[in-house]
Amino acid sequence: MAHYDFDLITIGGGSGGVRASRISAGYGARVALIEAGRLGGTCVNVGCIPKKLFSYAAHFAGDFEDARGYGWSVTNAAFDWSTLLANKDREIARLNGVYARVLADAGVEVVAGRAVIVDPHAVRVGDRMLTAAHLLVATGGHAVKPEIPGAELGITSDEAFYLDALPRRAILVGGGYIAVEFASIFNGLGVATTLVHRGGQLLRGFDEEIGVVLAEELAQQGVALALNEQVRELARDGAGLQLRLQSGRDLATDLVLFATGRRPNVAGLGLEAAGVALAENGAVRVDDFYRSSVPSIHAIGDVIDRVQLTPVAIAEGMALARTLFKGEPAALDYANIPTAVFSHPHVGTVGLTEAEARARHKAVTVYRTRFRPLKATLSGASERVFMKLVVDRDSDRVLGAHMVGAEAGEIIQGLAVALNCGATKAQFDATIGIHPTTAEEFVTLRG
């Protein structure tokens, strides 16, 4: 490899690209990372981190209400959007610096600029040409708007993190995790919020009951739901906007956020000219070891459109580094990947949905419960927790665990370990619960 400038050139400084670069350098590889924007990618800059911070902020309105039932008198509580934005920006800048230091400490050369792949071993960045034995595409994805008249008047989640002021009214278009999370954020911050979705089911791809329960909980909290509605047009209406639906309904609003999908970032990279095969949506086609149709070019993360989660991209990056520079071919197991949605209430899930389990297994038993959590007994809140276990009847193995309720992600993370260890329902039942907690319900579920 000595005739190349580097052993690995990574294009993209998100979580997956940074981890692949750092681990590869740790194995002794000479690594360069090219990034046109800020380090950390979508997750750090316009995704997981700022969104969770906004979610925390939106939770306080409910917390203040709950406090009354516990003897607290909360008066003159006021929210300031500009303070939240400034504090969020400061934290993101800190994380950008952390990523830069991690790469520098590992000996990775960071090159600022936009990369274009010239051939299977060469990348051009501005006037500079870099070569490497291996190229890694870790460029992530981007939000897309629907192809309707006036779509340019709406925003995506990227812009939501930089609004000059909170709108008085907001409409979220979509039924996936981004739509329900931002619906909860805006609603929690006092914005009159409507969620418009073309289907009748929220969170498609999750267990069906999760979407039903979440829709009920969102409605209880004041989010207006317009399901089975197709968006026809977005137009200006004086100082506001008018969202026109195929059904003939017109919805007046001050802001429309489209959460209608994402696509891989491949435009202008030179992938097709280099011979790299792409899927219909632009995703890089790779084998089990993240190698594209060109053996020296690899890809991980959202750009391959397998599982669009930050921890998955990180795991893929680590597997690739081991494969290329440690001599240990590593493929990722995509089964039992836990997922959380930070809507209000939270959603947590791991393993098979009920529908998937019934399609793959001869006999399935489902255990479910829905109850008022202890905290709500004094606060008077209307929230209810939903929990569900999907079990293979023949082996007694737990195939899936699903939850809607406070801290669902924290609870499901532990259950993911159990599912990966092949835990049975009998083993769940034999586990002593921590009382009084919501989590204990998962080990007390009975048919």
Active site residues: 435
Q: Rounded to the nearest 5 degrees, what angle is found at the Cα of 268, between the Cα atoms of 128 and 305?
A: 120
- Burial class (CB within 10 angstroms; exposed 0-12, middle 13-18, buried 19+) of 286: buried
159: closest CA among 257, 227, 43?
A: 257
Q: Which residue has the tokens 């209400």?
A: 65
Q: Using CA of residue 7, residue 9, residue 15, residue 18, what is the dihedral sign?
A: positive
Rounded CA gap, 330 and 308, in Å?
19
Q: Using CA of residue 313, residue 314, residue 318, residue 324, what is the dihedral sign?
A: positive
Q: Are 40 and 339 in contact (CB under 8 A)?
A: no
Tokens of 410: 């924290």
Inter-CA distances, 444 with 362, 395, 426, 440, Å: 25, 19, 11, 7
Q: Are 257 and 268 in contact (CB under 8 A)?
A: no
Rounded CA gap, 115 and 291, in Å?
19
How many CA atoms, within 13 angstroms, populate the side-chain half-sphere of residue 383? 23
